[in-house]
Amino acid sequence: MSQNISVPDIGDFDSVEIIEVLVKVGDQVSKDDPIVTLESDKSSVEVPSPIAGKITELNIKVGDKVSKGSLLAKLEGAPSSDERSKAEKDDSESSTEDKRDNSESNKEASEKRYSKSVNIIKNKNKIFASSSSADGDIDPLETNEWIESLNAVIENDGPSRASYLLNKVVSEAYTAGLVLPDTRTTPYINTIPTELEAKSPGDQNIEKKIRAYIRWNAAAMVVRANKISSELGGHIGTFASAATLYDVGMNHFWRAKNKDFGGDLIYFQGHSAPGMYARAFLEGRLSDKQLNRFRQEVNPGGLSSYPHPWLMPKFWQFPTVSMGLGPIMGIYQARFLKYLINRGLLKDEGRKIWVFLGDGETDEPESLGAISLAAREKLDNLIFVINCNLQRLDGPVRGNGKIIQELEGSFRGAGWNVLKVIWGSYWDPLLKADKTGLLMKRMNEVVDGEYQAMKAKGGAYVREKFFGKYPELKKLVSSMTDNDIWKLNRGGHDPHKVYAAYHAAVRHQGSPTVVIAKTVKGYGMGKSGESINTTHQQKKLDEKDLLYYRDRFNVPLTDEQVKNIEYYKPAENSEEIKYLIERRKQLGGFIPERSSLAVPIKAPPKDIFESFMKSTGDKEMSTTMALVRMLTNLLRDKNVAPRLVPIIPDEARTFGMEGFFRKIGIYAHEGQKYEPEDSEQLSSYKETKSGQVLEEGITEAGAMSSWIAAATAYTNHDIEMIPVYIFYSMFGFQRVGDFAWAAGDAQARGFLIGATAGRTTLAGEGLQHQDGHSHILASMIPNCVSYDPTFSYEMAVIFREGLRRMHEKNENVFYYITAMNENYSHPEKPEGADEGILKGMYLFKEYKNKGKIKIQLLGSGTILREAIAAAKVLSEEYNVDSDIWSVTSFTELRKNGMEIERKNLLNPDSKKEKSYIEKCLEKRDGPIIAVTDYVRSYSDQIRPYTDKSFYSLGTDGFGRSDTRKNLRKFFEVDKEHIIAYTLSALAKEQLLGSESAEKAFRKYNIDKKKAFPTKL
Ligand SMILES: Cc1ncc(C[n+]2csc(CCOP(=O)(O)OP(=O)(O)O)c2C)c(N)n1
Ligand SMILES: [Mg+2]
């Protein structure tokens, strides 16, 4: 059967150019294989073959203009149902590359999941034994009848029938116009009723001892460090409050990565790090010498203050101490894990992402900002544990309210499974004995400020202030001593309650879970720091405090040993150590541990980039378009294609990337449940479960978190991925700078693209868009390699090298490249320019016509083109010759300059080594004029590394909307200003009289009275 391949609906474009013909007569093509690439002035898009078959006729050639319906080719063939799409093929090929043994059968893999048995709600005889008049009940008998009816339904027809009836009744009530009470929150009690708690199989006695030793060693480590110097700091109170939350996970839930299993991923709360070191010490992974080096990292072997993979690359996985970043990065990590599974790149092993955060940390917008996404994406591989010790650094988190209730409302509202762990087991008999409901009422009415004070002030205070409010409650505890009352524990310190919550959390399906646990900050620290406002910064414990701490947790150390702040570690063959090691063995190994089994990606063939090395002739395009075309080409390479992760926060059309929607699909875990409005079009909005594009919506923080997840997949999932996050205008580094820093710490590998960059290049948008400083921000991150290319061949050389360094050679750097939306023609790559492009500068053009006067003209990005134009005028009209340097990276030049200068200073007797800038410029005459579309400090970076006079022009000041021409005039980086300022600089250098400059100022109407742009 012969079939025509015609141009489908390409949206608003007519008469677009064919820039590539990707098949020839006789070629066998699969369905969706690209036939030609079309390019409008804004974007390029491939036309796929509608069916599989053999090309029998080609009706077009490169350069032809086509419109909707134009005949492109004919082919012989028929659609074949078993034909797998190219993407699918690539996916399966790449997943077999994974070094980890993936041959395991699905059955075995599924055994590594937690058993699916959910907590079946058992029948309860009574929900409330009797109702109370204290809560305004005007007819307790009637209330009881309702409750008994409900109990009868639960008993006879089961909980789901009871839920159904309740829902029905509630719906009826809404229809009748009743205003029902707010149900975002549940009573201030544990979510899991006592009788439904899963029981821990662990040996509680041994676990208690282990926990005590870990607590002790963590505190001892901080106190010891501060004996060395109080500069060193550290925290005791946070881990003291969280020890049980971590210990239960370590002993029973968190499965390590090993050759058979990918491992659960745990985001530890940053300043609870001492606890993780203390456990690793008992596990034999860290020595006492290393503990003694807590926060003394300058010499090798120290332990980092917080989780920093850069500093402890074999230990820490996630940098979490900048509050708020851990939670959102954890959410997107869970989402990215599902993405890898849904794309067929990883098998589903039921791995979990656990994220620990403080209650104060939830103040950060990033902490809660993506919780609705987590629910929407049904991330049941995600578990948050919020340690609600009711305090942050300065004082109570919600003194006048209840943080646990507030969080419950937010998470429930967002669609999470919420498990509150508020009260410990000692409260169980009291709650059971509370026939009036008053205890729960009291629990509900006390605010966090009071709860905190109670734990600071002792049992008598609690009796008086908490139970004393109602005579019935006072009576309830009348047989208890003050000490008994003091022992009434909080849920987060009760291993039974914590176990039950984690057990339920890992089995929950369909939505993420948050465990909200109530604890005491500085638990066990007594007068020196338990539940007091200054707990957070307590890093010194005196002898008395230490003895108290030892006694409180029964740590078997003599007074003398306590005074010496000795660590405690039982013998290797003690039951505690054997137990601890055995537990971890059962769970597959130690946590945290950072490793990578990822296989490097084979570099794509050179020809993928070859077309960009040639001149575009009259054809104009932007560097953004060139990059998008490069990515399109890379999607044809079988090694690279499946690993590319294009990430865009709602700006694909801005960058001309809409062609990716149809070609590789937008990732959507539920596929596409609707027919898109533009389904007939070539670039229609295609959402699919195996989609490759991460279309994030308007969240730069989310997009950056996705990028970090993908950029560290080589270690967290043992698969090398190539994330390319293209952000819009200044909403890149400026918005997500802290994430970019964390990415450096995490040793991310991938591309960040600052698109429509440059203060005057993104013309119309104005002050809060035009980016004139992202390169400065990027330059501060030690392992970020950044470039501001002008021409498509520069972009190609840089991008290719990025792929090679990061994904083939596995260097732990990431690339930041700015791309512009200004269309212009691109010249051919000058012979031998590659090295200079990568090092930061190369000679683009020389004027040596007639002039005796010479300048070194350095430019980057679009403003290089203004410099090129200025050079021509300077040469032709003013007899000033120039060497024009394309500076692809002032930042890379500076790095080299700094390093060489230091080397020379360290070796005063040796022959002076030359920096790359010096090598380029040493034999060249004249002062340097450097021009960029960025603030002057960008080009000023290299000032110290050259002896030449240096003048920089840049775009300091607030941007504003106007045309490019007017903006460049305003910021004084246009051709005319470059000419005039160059002539003036030459006058200052006494290489030329001042008349030329004055003439130019007049000729170009340069207003000398205009204020400096930063003041306008
Ligand atoms: C972005 C950021 N701001 C400030 C800090 C400094 N800081 C460290 S811990 C802390 C208080 C933490 O309180 P919470 O989250 O309740 O944790 P807790 O120690 O109580 O468990 C602050 C403000 C930080 N680490 N990160
Ligand atoms: Mg707190």
- The number of CA neighbours under 13 Å toward the Cβ of 238 is 26
Residue type, 727: F
Q: β-strands 71-76, 2-6: how paired? A: antiparallel
Atom 4, ligand 1: residue with shortest CA distance: 323
For ligand 1, the distance from its centroid to the CA atom of residue 451, given in whole angstroms, is: 20
Among all bound ligands, the one having the nearest atom to the CA of 360 is 1
For ligand 2, the distance from its centroid to the CA atom of residue 270, given in whole angstroms, is: 12
* pLDDT tens sequence across 650-685: 999 999 999 999 999 999 999 999 999 999 998 999
Q: Tokens 């090694």 belong to which residue? A: 639
Q: Could you check whether the bond before residue 592 is cis, i.e. omega within 30 degrees of 0?
A: yes
Residue 227 has pLDDT above 90, yes or no: no
Nearest in space to 981 (alpha carbons), one of 919, 928, 914, 918: 928
119-133, 200-214, 761-775, 923-937 — which is least confidently predicted?
119-133
Residue 91 has pLDDT above 80, yes or no: no
Q: Average pLDDT of 633-660?
A: 95
Write out the H or E segment, with its range, that includes residue 373.
Answer: helix 371-376
**Which has more confidence, 904 or 84?**
904
3-state secondary structure 58-97: ECCCCCCEECCCCEEEEEECCCCCCCCCHHHHHHHHHHCC
Report how far apart, in Å, the C-alpha atoms of 23 and of each of 51, 73, 80, 635 are.
14, 9, 20, 16
Indicate which atom in ligand 1 lies nearest the CA of residue 397: 16
Indicate which atom in ligand 1 lies nearest the CA of residue 357: 15
Q: Is 451 helix (H, G, I), strand (E, B) or coil?
A: helix
For ligand 1, the distance from its centroid to the CA atom of residue 780, given in whole angstroms, is: 24
Q: Which tokens go with 64?
A: 């032809």
Dihedral (CA of 741, 746, 747, 753) sign: negative
Query: Structure pTM?
Result: 0.93
Indicate which atom in ligand 1 lies nearest the CA of residue 358: 15
Q: Which residues of 679-690 are buried (b: 16+ CB within 10 A; e: fewer)?
A: eebbbbbbbbbb
Among all bound ligands, the one having the nearest atom to the CA of 273 is 1
Atom 25, ligand 1: residue with shortest CA distance: 322
What is the number of other CB atoms lying within 10 angstroms of the CB of residue 90? 23
Residue 131 has pLDDT above 50, yes or no: no
| The pLDDT of residue 83 | 44
> From CA 857, how far away is CA 874, in angstroms rounded?
11
Would you say the CB of residue 358 lies under 6 angstroms from ligand 1?
A: yes
| The pLDDT of residue 920 | 98
For ligand 1, the distance from its centroid to the CA atom of residue 323, given in whole angstroms, is: 6
55-64, 698-707, 709-718 — which is least confidently predicted?
55-64
| The pLDDT of residue 113 | 60
C-alpha 816: how far from chain center = 16
Q: Which tokens go with 51?
A: 């069916």
| The pLDDT of residue 178 | 87
For ligand 2, the distance from its centroid to the CA atom of residue 322, given in whole angstroms, is: 15
Would you say the CB of residue 398 lies under 6 angstroms from ligand 1?
A: no
158-172, 241-255, 628-642 — which is least confidently predicted?
158-172
How would residue 100 be classed by pLDDT, with cut points 50, 70 and 90?
A: low
Among all bound ligands, the one having the nearest atom to the CA of 274 is 1
- The number of CA neighbours under 13 Å toward the Cβ of 684 is 16
| The pLDDT of residue 92 | 40
- State what percent of residues in the chain have pLDDT above 90: 81
229-233, 245-249, 551-555, 721-725 — which is least confidently predicted?
229-233
| The pLDDT of residue 110 | 43
* pLDDT tens sequence across 393-447: 999 999 999 999 999 999 999 999 999 999 999 999 999 999 889 999 999 999 9
What is the number of other CB atoms lying within 10 angstroms of the CB of residue 944? 13
Q: Which tokens go with 469?
A: 């409010």
Write out the H or E segment, with its range, that includes residue 495.
Answer: helix 495-507
Spatial contact of 858 and 929, defined as CB atoms under 8 Å apart = yes
What is the number of other CB atoms lying within 10 angstroms of the CB of residue 567? 20
> From CA 715, how far away is CA 765, in angstroms rounded?
40
> From CA 54, how far away is CA 61, in angstroms rounded?
18
Nearest in space to 383 (alpha carbons), one of 356, 421, 410, 345: 356
For ligand 2, the distance from its centroid to the CA atom of residue 391, given in whole angstroms, is: 4
Indicate which atom in ligand 1 lies nearest the CA of residue 363: 15
How would residue 543 be classed by pLDDT, with cut points 50, 70 and 90?
A: confident
3-state secondary structure 697-730: CCCHHHHHHHHHHHHCHHHHCCCCCEEEEEEECC
| The pLDDT of residue 78 | 59
Q: End-to-end alpha-carbon separation of the chain, Å?
A: 69
Spatial contact of 388 and 423, defined as CB atoms under 8 Å apart = no
Q: Tokens 């030690």 belong to which residue? A: 782
Spell out the alpha helix ranges (H) of 52-195: 86-95, 106-111, 140-157, 159-175
| The pLDDT of residue 125 | 44
- State what percent of residues in the chain have pLDDT above 70: 94
| The pLDDT of residue 774 | 98
Q: Is 598 helix (H, G, I), strand (E, B) or coil?
A: coil
| The pLDDT of residue 134 | 54
